[in-house]
Homo-oligomer: A and B are copies of this chain.
Amino acid sequence: MSNKEIPYKIYLEEDEMPKAWYNLRADMKNKPAPLLNPATHQPMTAEELSVVFCEELVQQEIDDTTAFFEIPEEIRDFYKMYRPSPLVRAYCLEKALDTPAKIYYKFEGNNTSGSHKLNSAIAQAYYAKKQGLKGVTTETGAGQWGTALSMACSYFGLDCKVYMVKVSYEQKPFRREVMRTYGASVTPSPSMETEVGKKILAAHPGTTGSLGCAISEAVEKATQSEGYRYVLGSVLNQVLLHQSVIGLETKTALDKYGEKADIIIGCAGGGSNLGGLISPFMGQKIKGEADYRIIAVEPASCPSFTRGKYAYDFCDTGMVCPLSKMYTLGSDFIPAPNHAGGLRYHGMSSTLSQLYDDGLMEAVSVKQTDVFEAAEKFARIEGILPAPESAHAIKVAIDEALKCKENNEEKTIVFGLTGTGYFDMMAYEKFHDGKMENYIPTDEEINESLAKLPKMD
């Protein structure tokens, strides 16, 4: 099929949307390492995990043999309100770059949460409701995950309690108001509502909080409240499972037009978007059915893959959560104030970590100013104003398209455009005013943090 016949945006029909999530772990030869109990260093049992998470989500978390999980009809109905998301052929970008490469991006920003986070939020809210819970707790930094969860809980009539890092609560009042519009209660963290919050406030009066602290408060609240569980928007296997809808739709859309990706690119913080986007392609690659170059893009300020270590570590800075084997900079690593809040995480999904360790994917890190330069260029050419996180993938997609031009290669590049940047304009303002900095940690900083990794037997 010739290029001319491929529309600017490929929308699948409703009946072409996935009816099951794909569990990539089922096809992995080397399975991701299990979560460990931080006290005993033994694999967490379903029973132990059920104190924190909903029961069905625990099953999804630990199951590494079932390849497909049927998407319940209620969730599929919700998906139909904002999905399928378009797979966009970036004709204008191709022309502007004068590249023989074909560029596609899967755009997940056309919903009120402004990102792909809603794909997992609605699933987690559904299972909480099904279990008869009253509500869920979570933390949020920049606010995309909190917004997505608020929307999902509102839909199923669940109570939603969000601990929002205090500095974001104050600097991003609009995000907070979106969550309130969906009926969520939003508490600046640290707060006086939890023991851990009180303790932190006593030790550090006037602290503006951190994601690690907000996680600790949300977990405490969930485990101490009757009928509540804790939910998380990234890193976990269950989240990658739900996010497989991104990759499944992408693959169906490409197949429909006889297109085959050569390079697949996604930004990576905890790994929810990248893990979802690549899942069906990586499955083929593992089974030897097709080959793809798969590239994870991370900020130079928080380079878990490119400069971290593959080891068991805590998922949170409070060290209360289970241990996960992952590429990590150490749970003690404090990422610099990069504007891509969603990529400011010390670790990485254990599934992606194993794939990277097995040499099945590449990783690159990029500087913040280069990312915003790419973001602005993209906005002007393709119309969409990207979130800083998404712009990491844009930067590398443009680089790869320019390499194709240099080598006169007609490759097909697919990248994930996770969301929009409407709530990130303060960062764009800094960029426009020439006040944006590049933070790159020193080897000493990283080594210091890695020295504190938990000692394993």
Contacts and interface: CB of A to CB of B under 8 A. Distances in A.
A285 interface: no
Contact of A81 (B81, B92, B181, B426): B92
Copies in the complex: 2
A32 B385 CA distance: 39
A420 interface: yes
Interface in A142-200: 151, 154-155, 173-174, 177-178, 180-183
A151 B383 contact: yes
Contacts of A183: 380
Contacts of A422: 114, 174, 178, 422-423
Interface residues of A, number: 42
A177 B428 contact: yes
Contacts of A376: 181
Query: Which among A174, A183, A420 has the highest number of chain B CB atoms within 10 Å?
Result: A174
Nearest to A174: B425
Contact of A379 (B11, B13, B181): B181
A376 B429 CA distance: 30
A80 B382 contact: no
Contacts of A252: none
A383 B112 contact: yes
A383 B7 contact: no
B112 A384 contact: yes
A147 to B, nearest CB: 9
A383 B177 contact: no
Contact of A383 (B14, B81, B174, B382): B81
A110 B384 CA distance: 10
Interface string A74-88: 000100111000000
A81 B8 CA distance: 6
A432 B180 contact: yes
8 contacts: A7-B14, A82-B383, A155-B383, A173-B425, A174-B422, A177-B432, A178-B425, A183-B380
Interface of A: 7-9, 11, 13-14, 77, 80-82, 91-92, 110-112, 114, 151, 154-155, 173-174, 177-178, 180-183, 376, 379-380, 382-385, 420, 422-423, 425-426, 428-429, 432
